[in-house]
Chains A and B, each alone.
Chain A
């Protein structure tokens, strides 16, 4: 596998180097240590060897001492008898003090002449068997006469003539002649009478006659008395010398200087059986012991016990450890190298990947670029501030702006129609999406809808010409889901619009063409059937009625088919606006009343919700109600009653229509909303209708944001209902209600109609009354009428510049103090131009206009100039009553309306009112609920109850005045208001 191959890869040579170096190091260390050990071993070995030979020499000297002692005994005494000798030897405690010594004896020299006398003498001592042996004629005899201890083996030596044996004789002669102690060569002792035979030798000390020291060799012999001697069994001697010590060495003692088998005297216990040496001793040496005229050769070998001390496992450990660490290091280094290579490889791969990805990205970008630029759609992206970030070629081509002219500089409003933006802002506000008339109009829906928002607009080219587009705006989000840009793709729909117009015209024409003859037919038949042309013959009348009825059906069919065509083409137009439901429903009931009567059916309104509002197209809603009501009547039994109810379910308003007709069978339930669906085909003829009614109704309801449903128990009750979200007025945020601009008139001096409209809308939303002057002349005219709280001024005006207008206005007494807010793309330049001139300009605001800033400035101006008139809050749901109140009270105060409790609370939280006029019956409760809030204010706010009911006594204490609507005239009302706000 790759792993193994990698070990032997050239790149791993460093690891190999490390391994080799480490092994070498381990070897050197091991070798050094071994050398050291060997040196130590040698020293030790020599020490032990010296110890061995030293011990032997030492023991021999001790033994000599004994013999010399014996010699001394002879020297000291006239004669030494057997008893004295015994005593001497016993005193020495040989066994204890000199282990290994076989015995100590005295050898008497006997001249042949004295032999018999000697034998006799000894025998006389009590040894009748004594004789000198071996027998034979010899020039000189010696005999062992004393040998202590005189027992055992030693008895065999009694009487032995040692001179009869050459080896002994040699040593004896040498001793006799030199007068010195000698030892013999290897002999077999006569004591070897039994047991294992050991090598033996003897030590002799000559004993001369008293006071006679021989001067010459011959003389020696003459004065020689005998020898004190010791026989040695070598094994026993050595055992005595070595004792119990753990032997570190083995050694072999050879007699003489050679190492021949015959000369071997002693073998220390290498192999106790064979006496063999250790096969291959670690160390070996040869020493000689030269003592008492004799030489021993000692060969010494190290024993395992000794070697063990120097074959410490340390060496092996060092070698193993060294090797081991080397291998480990090798593995480690290999691993690191491999890791590094791996990392380098990976880095390389990643770099390649990144490069590839970059390339891919570049290609992808290039592709996208090509797509974006090649597209025939205007592709524009804007940031969250609305500023254009991308502007493709098609956008350049269609709009006539170059990308660099607009990117980063303008919002998309640059080429939008300001009026359209305003209208759309109003539409969105009506649909519950409060949005200012700025680029948010384009993006508000896209923020909420992931699928984007598609809307049709008119785009204005740089040259001022216009063309229609369909613009889809999609929110672009970052990874966290936060919107960071918007993508707008606009399609030129000039052609489509043209075709649509043609189609629409065609439908309109066809519709007209069909209806024109129908108008005549139906009109004529209706008149005839109605008897306008006189009484008809009985046979003709039913026929005319058939024709009349079918002409009616034909009209319905034409209408329904046209509606269906519009629905399917998605071209049914809806003008949704908030409408009050109840008046609409009541009107529908009225309209259908006559129709129901045909079937002898009546309608009954079971329950109503006054004030409930829904955002729908009123005409289409009528069509829906019409359909439900006529269906219910049509299918009710004669004399039946159709019940109508209005309910609030959560935040939805539901209109329910119930009949007790035959109902809807299960199989029909599925296709009841299909085109041309009727329970059975005979229905069409029997009941009339086209079978398109519910299909159209459902489409209309759904397009207006509602839903339709039914529930049927045949012949018991069938319920159809439609429901729509309740429309609740949503106020644009962050616009203060405190400053009621109804008396604050602001003049907008601005030549661009679009911008002027935008400004007007911004200010009107905040409650200001706005007049627009498109040029300086108009401005001067309007200002001359007076009554303006402030003016906004564009600097770049057609005939006269804004700056010169400011100078001029400051020159007139009436306008000298008019607060002016400059709203201009050149605001900062203007500020410089006016630098140093003490004209009162409240603020300089750059375009595009920041609504908040503009309002805060104007609100500030109003605050500075002080509220001239008291502010009255009228909590009242009936707009007519408020209208009257407004007219009455505006003579002395500004009046604002809250249509329900919730709104009132919100408004009260935002600012202080000088008076609150309360209606008691409000859609979401009684006006009395506000009393704690009003009386708890500091100082308490005066309260005037203006209601249809008399207020109770208890409540009367809480309020400052109470008037009943039907019993109060305008003068009384005004007087009460004046009194409460303290105006006379």
Chain B
């Protein structure tokens, strides 16, 4: 499964951050990025887009990140897909909680768009190294 990472789904409700992230991941990282603004949207688009890795915000209106993750895990094709939270909620206990529900890593906000791609790539490699 040492596939090259190309397809990333990013779930984030904040349009500005969507823009920055898309630039960072597509322009700098060369990934194909699908952006969803809510958990529900992610659940409906993911099976279509078939991401190799999913980036999830935690605090979102409606369905929050952890719930979205649990729902995704319920879909057989996403049972093992690496999910990384990108969030400002990074207190020690919170990070542990994310990992408890099978997140592979946490990227704290504010992230550095210049290095975001490298971070994601590193996580991918760790998962499939």
Interface residues of A (CB under 8 A from B): 504, 508, 511-512, 514-520, 522-524, 526-527, 530, 532-533, 555, 573-575, 617, 619
Contacts and interface: CB of A to CB of B under 8 A. Distances in A.
Interface stretch (B3-11, B30-38, B42-50, B85-93): B85-93
Given A504-B91, A619-B92, A522 B16 contact: no
Given A520-B20, A527-B27, A619-B92, 10 more contacts: A515-B109, A519-B20, A520-B16, A527-B20, A527-B23, A530-B28, A530-B114, A532-B113, A555-B110, A575-B96
Interface string B65-98: 0000000000000000000000111011110100
Interface residues of B, number: 25
A574 B27 CA distance: 38
Contacts, number: 78
Majority SS of interface residues in chain A?
helix
A515 B23 CA distance: 19
Nearest to B21: A523
Interface of B: 14, 16-17, 19-21, 23-24, 27-28, 59, 87-89, 91-94, 96, 109-114
B110 A518 contact: yes
B20 A516 contact: no
Nearest to A504: B91
Q: Count chain B CB atoms within 10 A of each CB in A508, A514, A518, A522 and give the residue with the most.
A: A508
B89 A516 contact: no
Contacts of B87: 512
Nearest to B96: A575
Nearest to B13: A516
A511 B88 contact: yes
A512 B89 contact: yes
Given A512-B88, A516-B17, A516-B88, A523 B24 contact: yes
Contacts of B14: 516, 519-520
A497 to B, nearest CB: 13
Closest 9 CB pairs of A and B: A523-B20, A520-B16, A515-B88, A519-B110, A512-B88, A573-B92, A523-B113, A519-B109, A518-B110
Contacts of B21: 523
Nearest to A507: B91
Q: Count chain A CB atoms within 10 A of each CB in B24, B89, B113 and give the residue with the most.
A: B113
B91 A523 contact: no
A523 B111 contact: yes
A523 B25 CA distance: 12
Contact of A524 (B19, B94, B109): B19
A439 to B, nearest CB: 28
B50 to A, nearest CB: 27
B24 A527 contact: yes
Contacts of A504: 91
A282 to B, nearest CB: 124
A508 B94 contact: yes
Majority SS of interface residues in chain B?
helix
23 contacts: A504-B91, A508-B89, A508-B91, A512-B59, A512-B89, A515-B88, A516-B14, A517-B16, A518-B109, A518-B110, A520-B16, A522-B113, A523-B21, A523-B23, A524-B20, A526-B112, A527-B20, A527-B23, A527-B113, A527-B114, A532-B27, A532-B28, A619-B92
A968 B36 CA distance: 54
A523 B17 contact: yes
Contacts of A520: 14, 16-17, 19-20
Contacts of B88: 511-512, 514-516, 519
Contact of A519 (B59, B94, B111): B111
B16 A573 contact: no
Contacts of B23: 523, 527, 532-533
Contacts of B24: 523, 527, 532
A881 to B, nearest CB: 22
Given A524-B20, A527-B20, A532-B23, A516 B92 contact: no
A107 B55 CA distance: 190
A530 B112 CA distance: 11
Nearest to B87: A512
Contacts of B17: 516, 519-520, 523
Q: Count chain A CB atoms within 10 A of each CB in B27, B87, B92, B110 and give the residue with the most.
A: B110
Contacts of A516: 14, 17, 88, 109
Contacts of B16: 517, 519-520, 523-524
Nearest to B116: A523
Q: Count chain A CB atoms within 10 A of each CB in B91, B93, B114 and give the residue with the most.
A: B91
Contacts of A518: 109-110
Given A523-B17, A527-B23, A515 B94 contact: no
Contacts of B92: 573-575, 617, 619
Contacts of A526: 112-114
Contacts of B112: 522-523, 526
A523 B20 CA distance: 6
A573 B20 contact: no
A520 B109 CA distance: 10
Nearest to A571: B91
Contact of A573 (B93, B109, B110): B93
Contacts of B113: 522-523, 526-527, 530, 532
Nearest to A511: B88
Nearest to A508: B89
Contacts of B109: 512, 515-516, 518-519
B110 A515 contact: yes
Q: Count chain B CB atoms within 10 A of each CB in A511, A527, A555, A574 and give the residue with the most.
A: A527
Contacts of B28: 530, 532
Contacts of A530: 28, 113-114
Contacts of A573: 91-93
Contacts of A519: 14, 16-17, 20, 88, 109-111
Given A516-B17, A523-B21, A523-B24, A511 B89 contact: yes
Q: Count chain B CB atoms within 10 A of each CB in A526, A573, A574 and give the residue with the most.
A: A526
A541 to B, nearest CB: 16
Contacts of B20: 519-520, 523-524, 527
A162 to B, nearest CB: 166
Given A511-B88, A512-B89, A573-B92, A523 B59 contact: no
A524 B15 CA distance: 12
A574 B91 CA distance: 11
Contacts of B114: 526-527, 530
A165 B45 CA distance: 198
A437 B111 CA distance: 43
A409 B54 CA distance: 56
A619 B109 CA distance: 17
Nearest to B112: A526
B14 to A, nearest CB: 6
A514 B28 CA distance: 26
A785 to B, nearest CB: 28
B121 to A, nearest CB: 16
B60 to A, nearest CB: 11
Contacts of A527: 20, 23-24, 27, 113-114
Contacts of A574: 92
B92 to A, nearest CB: 4
Contact of A523 (B89, B93, B96, B110): B110
A508 B90 CA distance: 8
A247 B9 CA distance: 159
A511 B89 CA distance: 7
A570 B1 CA distance: 45
A559 B73 CA distance: 32
Nearest to B90: A511
A453 B16 CA distance: 50
B29 to A, nearest CB: 11
A102 to B, nearest CB: 155
A555 B89 CA distance: 14
A617 B20 CA distance: 33
A526 B21 CA distance: 11
Q: Count chain A CB atoms within 10 A of each CB in B59, B92, B111 and give the residue with the most.
A: B92
Nearest to B28: A532
